[in-house]
């Protein structure tokens, strides 16, 4: 692999020396993906300078490897005429992505500069919701007519491959008005006699998605059926584009990020994930507040529970110091159970029909660890406070609390899933609070019950 740090060093040197010739050579030797990584480490000015050294074809290819922020930055910094020429060389879906990230007026500006046929196609792509199959598809698809012969298709592809930069994964077969009829694998073109009509060798029973389908459905379809691209059709069954494996990869990454953020109580459904990290501050606040408010309500219930035992607390204030210990470990082991179940449900490693088996398993894990930690805490407390009763009370509370936490952490995701609520969204904060409330109740009951031996 490339030693990126050294290359960045050398790169920065060349930029300072203003040696365009060497810079060009250096860029020529690197893969776009590597240049993109180097670009991340440069300043805005350095990026623009390096970008301008590249021939426009290469510049268009490189642009696709850059992050959306840097794409927008470079396009805004570039001379407008040049930017338009580069945009014209990019695949339509990438152009739609970049223009979608620009201000409306800037993106209109570029669209007006493009040839009408292309700007219409891109406008159509921009009209689909960003997270729909239509929003991520590429409308540059290679289609052939059902009446063509294998030989005709091969010649057609030969010409296409020379002139276009379209990715060649499958060949789709349509009728004269563009309705999707079937698909050809490249392999079948190799193995069929040249005079056969494609209609007779195409796979008719093909998997497809609808322009309005959620992007996640498109990605899941690719992964489930193990295919490299899925065709996207409109209401009339006309082929509008394809979603390819690399689009699907991006979707999976995005969905995973949402799942992870939601599990910590960040509402990615109200605020876009990029905005939370980079958008206006109030957007970040808005994404993070809802679940904190729910936690606030839950914790005030915990406060009420503790208040209920105020007589016990006043009789023996020392017992309060163990509250964080119990809450901390209960919360921790409970979170482990939630995380295991939520992730398992999301990858399919755990299913609803496993619920009882998993609950029973987690319960035993909880009891085992709870007992061990209970005994440990008992001895520590006893040794530290020289009070064996206190040791027993705190130790028992710990064991009960940890066992209880695993059960709640395991049962809740299954229950939510059963009533069709995404367990990733609601589990974390609600369960943590529930564990806090129940844990306190258990602890204070135990203390109250044993108070006469404690004082």
Residues 21-60 that bind a copy of itself (CB under 8 A): 31, 33, 40-41
Stretch that binds a copy of itself, among 5-13, 101-109, 300-308, 446-454 (CB under 8 A): 300-308
- For 142, other C-beta atoms within 10 Å of its C-beta total 19
Binding positions for a copy of itself, 240-269, rule CB under 8 A: 245-246, 249, 252-253, 256-257, 260-261, 263-266
Residue 343 touching a copy of itself (CB under 8 A): yes
C-alpha span between 297 and 436 (Å, rounded): 12
How far, in Å, CA of 61 to CA of 23, rounded? 18
| Residue 421 makes contact with a copy of itself by CB under 8 A | no
Told to check if 235 binds a copy of itself by CB under 8 A, we report no
Nearer to a copy of itself, 114 or 437 (CB): 437
Please state the φ and ψ torsions of residue 214, each to the nearest 5 degrees.
-65, 145
Q: For residues 421 and 331, is the Cβ–Cβ distance under 8 A? A: no
DSSP 3-state assignment of 239? strand
Among 134, 182, 241, 298, binds a copy of itself (CB under 8 A): 298
The tokens describing 383, both together, are 């040794």
Residues touching a copy of itself, count (CB under 8 A) = 103
Closer residue to a copy of itself, CB minimum distance, 181 or 405: 405
Which one of 72-80, 123-131, 323-331, 446-454 is the stretch in contact with a copy of itself (CB under 8 A)? 323-331
CB 60 within 8 A of CB 78: no
Nearer to a copy of itself, 110 or 172 (CB): 172
Does 270 sit near a copy of itself (CB under 8 A)? no
In this chain, which of 11, 51, 110, 322 binds a copy of itself, going by CB under 8 A?
322
Who contacts 446 (Cβ-Cβ below 8 Å, separation ≥6)?
393, 396, 397, 400
Q: Using the rule CB under 8 A, is 292 a contact of a copy of itself?
A: yes
**Alpha carbon 4 to chain centroid, angstroms:** 26
Site for a copy of itself in 59-118 (CB under 8 A): 65, 67
CB-based contact 168:154 (threshold 8 Å): no
Site string for a copy of itself, 157-176 (x = CB under 8 A): xx--xx-----x--------
Contact between 387 and a copy of itself by CB under 8 A: the answer reads: no
- 281 scored as a contact of a copy of itself (CB under 8 A): yes
Q: Which listed range, 9-17, 128-136, 143-151, 375-383, lies at the site for a copy of itself (CB under 8 A)?
A: 375-383
Angle between helices 32-41 and 4-17 (to 10 degrees): 70
Q: Which x/- pattern over 187-226 shows residues binding a copy of itself (rule: CB under 8 A)? A: x--xx---------------x---------x-----xxxx
Query: What distance in Å separates the CA atoms of residue 266 and residue 425, rounded to the nearest whole number?
Result: 9
Beta partners for residue 210, in sequence order: 233
| 315: its two tokens | 């009789």
C-alpha–C-alpha distance, residues 52 and 39, integer Å: 13
- Our CA dihedral for 71, 132, 219, 231, rounded to 10 degrees, sits at -100
Neighbours of 231 (CB within 10 A): 24
Tell me if 349 contacts a copy of itself by CB under 8 A: yes
Q: Choose between 111 and 412: whose C-beta lies nearer to a copy of itself.
A: 412
Smallest distance from the beta carbon of 252 to a copy of itself, in angstroms? 7
């Amino acid at each position: 692999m490339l030693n990126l740090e050294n290359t960045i060093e050398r790169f920065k040197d060349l930029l300072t020396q203003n040696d365009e010739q060497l810079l060009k050579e250096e860029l020529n030797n690197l893969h776009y993906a590597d240049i993109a990584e180097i670009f991340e480490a440069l300043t805005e000015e350095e990026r623009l300078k390096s970008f301008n050294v590249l021939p426009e074809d290469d510049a268009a290819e490189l642009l696709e490897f850059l992050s959306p922020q840097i794409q927008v930055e470079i396009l805004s910094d570039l001379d407008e005429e040049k930017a338009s020429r580069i945009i014209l060389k990019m695949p339509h879906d990438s152009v739609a992505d970049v223009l979608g990230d620009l201000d409306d007026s800037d993106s209109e500006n570029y669209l007006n500069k493009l040839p009408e046929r292309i700007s219409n196609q891109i406008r159509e792509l921009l009209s689909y919701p960003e997270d729909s199959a239509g929003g991520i598809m590429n409308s540059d698809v290679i289609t052939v007519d059902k009446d063509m012969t294998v030989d005709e298709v091969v010649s057609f592809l030969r010409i296409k491959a020379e002139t276009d930069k379209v990715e060649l994964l499958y060949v789709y077969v349509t009728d004269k008005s563009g309705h999707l009829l079937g698909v050809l694998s490249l392999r079948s073109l190799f193995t069929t006699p040249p005079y056969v009509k494609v209609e007779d060798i195409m796979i008719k029973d093909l998997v497809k998605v609808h322009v309005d389908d959620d992007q996640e459905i498109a990605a899941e379809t690719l992964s489930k059926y193990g295919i490299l691209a899925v065709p996207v059709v409109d209401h009339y069954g006309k082929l509008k584009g394809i979603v390819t494996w690399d689009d699907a990869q991006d979707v999976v990454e995005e969905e995973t990020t949402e799942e992870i953020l939601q599990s910590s109580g960040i509402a990615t459904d109200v605020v876009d994930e990029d905005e939370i990290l980079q958008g206006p501050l109030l957007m970040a606040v808005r994404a993070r507040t809802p679940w904190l408010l729910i936690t606030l309500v839950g914790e005030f219930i915990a406060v009420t529970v503790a208040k209920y035992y105020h007589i016990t607390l006043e009789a023996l204030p020392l017992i309060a110091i163990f509250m964080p210990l119990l809450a901390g470990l209960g919360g921790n082991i409970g979170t482990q159970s939630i995380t295991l179940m939520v992730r398992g449900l999301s990858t399919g490693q755990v299913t609803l029909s496993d619920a009882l088996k998993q609950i029973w398993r987690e319960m035993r894990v909880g009891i085992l660890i709870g007992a061990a930690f209970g005994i440990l805490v008992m001895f520590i407390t006893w040794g530290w406070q020289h009070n064996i009763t206190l040791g027993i009370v705190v130790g028992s509370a710990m064991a009960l609390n940890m066992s209880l936490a695993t059960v709640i952490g395991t049962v809740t995701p299954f229950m939510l899933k059963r009533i069709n609520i995404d367990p990733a969204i609601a589990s974390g904060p609600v369960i943590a609070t529930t564990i806090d409330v129940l844990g306190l109740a258990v602890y204070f009951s135990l203390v109250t019950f044993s108070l006469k031996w404690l004082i």
